[in-house]
Structure 1
Amino acid sequence: MDSSKLNHEGLLALDQPLVKVPLEQLKRAFRSSQKHVEKEMAAVSAQLESALAKAAAKPDEACSAIDATLSRLQGLKRKLAEIKTEEDLYVGRTKLRLEHLAEMTRISSADSEAFTRWSKTRLSRILVDYMLRKGLSTSPAKLAADSHIEVAPAHRLDFVDIELFAQSRRIEDALRRRSCAECLQWCSENKSSLKKMKSTLEFSLRLQEYIELVRARNLPQAISHARKFLTPWSDTHMREIQQAMGMLAFSPKTACGAYKALFDDGRWEMLTEQFRADNYALNSLTLQPLLHMTLQAGLSSLKTRTCYQPPTRNINCPVCDADTFGYLAEKLPCAHHVNSCIVCRITGRIMDADNPPLVLPNGQVYSSWALQDMALRNNGAVTCPATGSTFHVSEARKAFIM
């Protein structure tokens, strides 16, 4: 198979979020403008009807109502202009990202300069995505600017979503500070989409607010909160609501397992993880960083059963190195190799006709280059790394690869 040929579908498979994220943001901005227009037009219609009713009897009040209506329409115009600017940003970003992906389909060889340039841009995007997921802010922005994947004049990012992750980080930090307000506002802004996803995040947040009120022994307010925010979920979460009501009879220091779990501070971290998962799903982002998925695509072609056996690990194999990449490949299937490839455990080099394998008297096999190099440095003596036994190099027998 010609290695210079490109598998475009494989290369672009992991790039779907690149287009989906701005598309979801555009849809959200459109829904926001639509709701705002409907709300304002309903209010304007009511004001005009009131003004017409007063026109004959109270002309001054009618004029004041018309002026208020005009002021409201001017405010609506300004708001729509802001939303239009936001929509133009997402449309432009989507267009640039589609052009970037389309460029890949026009590249036919992996050896071309165009592919090298495109790959560097893609690598920068993946690294920025990884750093943003790890909670960094300054480094990703600097890398984006240095890699020319940023629109400098407007300081807007074309191929990375720093604003999205910045918002996510603010909400996660608020949850770690035990504040549900920011996340509840996010739920309100994305209510329809979360409902389609059948998300239970809002219920979990309201339940946590109730738990904190019970923890503070503010029982009257806890009951009022439950009536207002938990009972609307009774059709789908009756069991959780009933258990929550039982908390009123227990102390935060209770040893009862069911209620001890509800009072556990670890629930805040669970809420953070639930928000992150819903946020990623809402914006069509993968749960795993793209860097991990890209590395796994390559590691799956290298993984063998011997990679996780200490005696047969290869010093040059990334899968064999459990401290760096090995953990990423743990759940991946082993690669299918039609022809076996024997690798020397001393040098990490492939044994073939130019570097044939030699068998020591204890049955261990190493490459001729490794044993000859060891013999030159030790007056013909070679020491087996696996057993520690020492032999003369002349005792090694040549093996033949079938």
Structure 2
Amino acid sequence: MSLRMAAQMTKLISHHLQDQPLLRLPHELARRNFKSVQRAVEREKEYVIPALKDTANASLSNTQTPDQTLAALDAMISRMQGLKRKMEGLQEEEKKIHNQSRKRIQHLEALHKIPSLADVKYDQWSRVRLDRLLVDHMLRSGYSDSAQKLAKERGIEDLVDLGVFTQCQRVVESLRKRETKEALQWCGENKAALKKTQHNLEFELRLQQYIEMVRTQDKSKKVEAIIHAKKYLVSNQQSQNTEIMRAAGLLVFTQDTRAEPYKSLFSLDRWSYLSNLFVKTHHELLSLPSQPLLHIALSAGLSALKTPLCHSAYQSSSSNSQSTSTYVCPICSTELNDLARKMPYAHHSKSYVESDPIVLPNGRVYGKHRLIENSTKIGSVEAGKVKDPTTGEIFSESDMKKVYIM
């Protein structure tokens, strides 16, 4: 395998590793849709089959009148028609998910059909990928309308997760408004998955409802809070005794208390904690990365460029973002410096530095043998002098200084 083909394969693998969430979410949605179908069928089966047997036995033994038998059959038919309508809705949802998966597979497959990364088709594919990353970033940042307009304009609705993030953002907004109804409804819809993964989101939401009842200091509300705690907090198998004891202790404190942990429980900052906890739980259940895909893609590139000098106190003039005449290091730039700060340094198993490095008076470093050889081939350079291949400046060989790398 040639080096060019190896480099191309490495980049293809890198793309696919970063684009795993593109296929994970439709798979997870299809699995959940199938579970919904299975639950609906099982629920109606448990009702209809026993009801049908009872009606048949009652009809044969003449313990029911014909009108009662017809009424029982009508009730069963009505339930089955309701099941049919629900199944049709779930089938349409399944078709939509499969169509979305097909479009995403075709998008990734197109990358394999590109003969070279220098091909213009790769630039087109990369632009589509960049649009996907931008839409994902806007959705996670709460700019749903802008994300929808960009996706529609670029024709990539099936390549981005508009519906999922829009629903997530709606619940987050309700929590920021200090409402738990929509978050609890989402927990109810995903109760089995939450129980399986042992997330404590529902317990925290129920605890917040309890806190808001106690906050009022109204006696009737406190009684209601105790009933609420017995129903949702004490009976919760995932809850811990420590949390329940703290909740019980709130009954004797007011919201202006300075005693911990009751001060933190009464704090309005808990709503921000709940919104962040919901986002974390939502993303984990749907196999979505916690960070925007744009940050992940940028981090991979920044890590490959990062050196210890980038975040040192002695940066070269090339890191000046106001300069237009010198190269600007992406790591040292104002826009990406903070994002790259926690990234690991680039690791090279093979040195790309010339074996005989020298530095010219203009600060540029080259291999001495290669620089003299290139200057000789040019022919317009006098003997004993060398030409900088980048700037075109001519220097005397005596001006070259040996570079030592520690």
TM-score by length of 1: 0.82
The equivalent residue for 1:207 is 207
Could you tell me which residue of structure 2 aligns to residue 172 of structure 1? 172
Q: Which residues of 2 match residues 112-191 of structure 1 at below 5 A?
A: 112-149=119-156, 157-191=157-191
- Who is 1:319 aligned against? 331
Q: Tell me, yes or no, if structure 1 residue 271 matches structure 2 residue 274.
A: yes
8 A contact 1:304–1:335 mirrored in 2? yes
**Aligned pairs (5 A) from 1:68-79:** 68-79=75-86
Matched, 1:51 2:55: yes
Write the distance in 2 (CA, Å) between the matches of 1:125 and 1:30. Answer: 27
Does the C-alpha gap of structure 1 residues 172 and 219 become closer, same or farther in structure 2, counting only changes over 3 Å? Answer: same
Stretches of structure 2 that go unaligned for 5 or more consecutive residues are 320-327, 372-387
| CA deviation vs aligned residue, 1:7-61 (integer Å, no higher than 9, x gap) | 2211110111100101111111111121112222222234324433543241111
Q: Which secondary structure state, in structure 1, belongs to the residue aligned with residue 185 of structure 2?
A: helix
CA distance in 2, matches of 1:343, 1:60: 104
1:335 to 343, 346, 354: 346
8 Å Cα contact 1:6-1:108 kept in structure 2: no
Alignment check: 8 A CA contact 1:6 1:109 kept: no
- Give the AA of the match of 1:212: E
* Residue 64 of structure 1: aligned partner: 71
Q: Which residue of 2 aligns with 1:352?
A: 366
1:38 and 1:369 map into 2 onto residues whose CA distance is 74
Q: How many Å separate the matches in 1 of 2:243 and 2:225?
A: 15
1:101 aligns with 2:108: yes
Separation of aligned partners in 2, 1:343 and 1:50:
96
Contact 2:203/2:236 (CA < 8 Å) preserved in 1? yes
Show structure 1 runs of 5+ residues with no match.
Answer: 150-156, 357-366, 373-392
| Equivalent pair of 2:358/2:401 in contact (CA under 8 Å) | no
* Structure 1 counterpart of 2:128, one-letter code: T
User: Against the structure 1 CA distance between its residues 135 and 235, is the aligned structure 2 distance closer, same or farther, given a 3 Å change threshold?
Assistant: closer
What amino acid does structure 2 have at the position aligned with 1:280? H
Q: Does the C-alpha gap of structure 1 residues 368 and 101 become closer, same or farther in structure 2, counting only changes over 3 Å?
A: closer
Query: Residue 358 of structure 2 contacts residue 400 of structure 2 at CA under 8 Å; is this kept in 1?
Result: no
Letter paired with 1:118: W
Q: Which amino acid aligns with 1:332?
A: M
Match of residue 380 from structure 1: none
Q: Deviations over 1:310-359 (max 9, x none)?
A: 432433001112x3101111111111352459999xx9x954379x9xxx
Q: Indicate the residue corresponding to 1:110 in structure 2.
A: 117
Alignment partner, residue 304 of structure 1: 307
| SS of match in other structure, 1:335 | coil
Report the AA paired with residue 82 of structure 1.
G
Q: In the alignment, does 2:52 pair up with 1:25?
A: no
Displacement after TM superposition at 1:234 (Å): 5.3
Alpha-carbon distance in 2 for matches of 1:28, 1:205:
23
In structure 2, relative to structure 1, the CA distance for the partners of 1:228 and 1:117 (3 Å cut) is same
User: What is the identity, as a one-letter code, of the residue corresponding to 1:176?
Assistant: R
* 1:300/1:332 contact within 8 Å kept: yes
Shift of residue 126 of structure 1? 0.8
Alignment coverage as a number of residue pairs: 362
Residues 152-185 of structure 1, C-alpha deviation per residue, up to 9 Å, x if partnerless?
Answer: xxxxx21001000110011001111111111111
1:277-336 deviation per Cα after TM superposition (whole angstroms, max 9, x unaligned): 111111111111110110111111111111112432433001112x31011111111113
SS in 1 for 2:8: coil
Aligned-residue sequence identity (percent) comes to 37
Inter-partner Cα distance in structure 2 for 1:58 and 1:129: 62
Q: Is the 8 A contact 1:301 1:335 kept in 2?
A: yes
Tell me the amino acid that sits aligned with residue 221 of structure 1. E
Deviation, 1:368, is 12
Q: Retained in 2: the 8 A contact 1:234–1:241? A: no
Partners of 1:41 and 1:88 in 2: CA distance = 25
Q: Distance in 1 between matches of 2:364 and 2:145?
A: 43
Which segment drifts farther, 29-38 or 80-89?
29-38
Could you say if the C-alpha distance between residues 18 and 90 of structure 1 is closer, same or farther in structure 2, counting changes exceeding 3 Å?
same
Higher mean C-alpha deviation, range 20-29 or range 333-342: 333-342
Q: Aligned equivalents of 2:129 and 2:4: distance in 1?
A: 23
8 A contact 2:203–2:239 mirrored in 1: no
